[in-house]
């Protein structure tokens, strides 16, 4: 099991980004969440099998969302998410 944190920058808020990420997550065995940040970025946290997690992040980049992403920063995180499923957070 692996966990990752990804920050997406660009025109990523107000365009259905979080909803689309949640829809993409349904096709993968991952858990986690996605949320808007005050600085205009979107943050994603996800856990799953390393190969599944990598495929999920790759699928986001290959989706229609790629037109909105100017920068993507991904980093592994040590703590595993205890969340079940994948959700949109409104923080």
Catalytic residues: 18, 36
H-helix or E-strand containing 51?
A: helix 50-62
CB-CB contact of 85 with 28 (8 Å): no
d(CA 10, CA 70) in angstroms, rounded, equals 5
């Amino acid at each position: 099991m692996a966990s990752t944190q990804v920050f997406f920058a660009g025109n990523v808020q107000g365009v259905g980004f979080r909803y689309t990420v949640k829809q993409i997550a349904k096709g993968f065995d991952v858990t986690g969440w996605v949320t808007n940040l005050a600085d205009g970025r979107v943050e994603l946290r996800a856990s799953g099998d390393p190969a599944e997690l990598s495929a999920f992040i790759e699928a986001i980049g290959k989706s229609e969302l790629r037109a909105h992403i100017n920068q993507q920063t991904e980093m592994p995180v040590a703590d595993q998410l205890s969340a079940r499923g994948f959700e949109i957070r409104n923080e």
